Amino acid sequence: MQAEMTTDAPLGGRPIEELIACPHCDALYVARMPEKGGRAVCRDCHTVLISPRRKAGARIIALTLAVMILVVGALFFPFLDINARGFGNSTSILDTASSFRSGYMTFLSVVVAAGIIVIPLIRTLLILYVLVPVVADRRPFPQARRAFRLSQELKPWAMAEIFAIGCAVALVKVADLAQIGFGPAFWMFAVLVILVLFNDNYLCTWSVWKSLELEEE
């Protein structure tokens, strides 16, 4: 069931806690919990604003733990094996992120490592820090709201999906020049990208904010 958010209700004088803004078009609405099994979408750009799911918290925690394990595992296992004219080389994600080690290219290594390793790990830790006590019906940990806000701000900078797309494009270009073998880290990373997409789909930010507000009152 899908219900469009509307601005029919007057916004003037309402507490800010009762309002919700679309993250894409900045349209402002009065926040209302959808009916069971439904979701609320922006009337203008159709972005999903509220999408509560039954037992979503436990599923998000499970997916987040899986993402964390896969990120750590993918760092050290071989990612690709490339063989051409009798010469071969095996590389890991950690090797890729640290491949530029001199001059200005060192900064590029830091950015790559942050985008595909550090920031995704920080986001998973922040989400666990926020959701574990909420799902367990306990008071949030100190600074939980600030931690959740930071996890949302870091979301555009976690670029595991972009790295996967870049790898796919590169593999298409070199497939005719060399024999390519996929290591364990490649499959770990492929599963990781899928889990991240599922995790973001399950996570209803409005529901998390409301849970933190109720617990801190």
* pLDDT tens readout for residues 155-202: 888 877 777 777 777 777 777 777 777 888 888 888 888 888 888 877
Contact 73, 35 (CB under 8 A): no
Q: What pLDDT is recorded for position 214? A: 59
Model confidence pLDDT, tens digit, residues 55-80: 777 888 888 899 888 888 888 888 77
Angle value at C-alpha 122, between 117 and 123, nearest 5 degrees? 105
Pick the more confident residue, 10 or 103: 103
Percent of the chain topping pLDDT 70: 83
Pure H helices in 37-183: 56-76, 93-97, 105-113, 119-135, 144-154, 160-174
CA R_g for the chain: 21
Q: Residue 152: is its pLDDT beyond 80?
A: yes
- Reply yes or no on whether the pLDDT at 4 is more than 60: no
* DSSP annotation string for 167-211: HHHHHHHHTTTSEEEE-HHHHHHHHHHHHHHHHHHH--HHHHHHH
Residue in 75, 109, 65 with CA at minimum distance from that of residue 189: 75
In this predicted structure, what is the pLDDT of residue 60? 87
In this prediction, residue 56 carries a pLDDT of 75
pLDDT of residue 150: 92
Closest CA to 64 of 186, 206, 213, 208: 208
* 0.85 surpassed by pTM: no
Which of 30, 64, 24, 16 shows the shortest CA–CA distance to 45? 24
Look at residue 9 and tell me whether its pLDDT is greater than 60.
Answer: no
What token pair was written down for 155? 């979301």
At 7, the pLDDT band (50, 70, 90 cuts) reads very low
What proportion of the chain, given as a percentage, has pLDDT over 90?
5
pLDDT at 199 (0 to 100): 83
pLDDT in tens, 113-141: 788 888 888 988 999 999 898 888 788 88
Break the chain into its structural domains and give their ranges: 2-50, 56-216
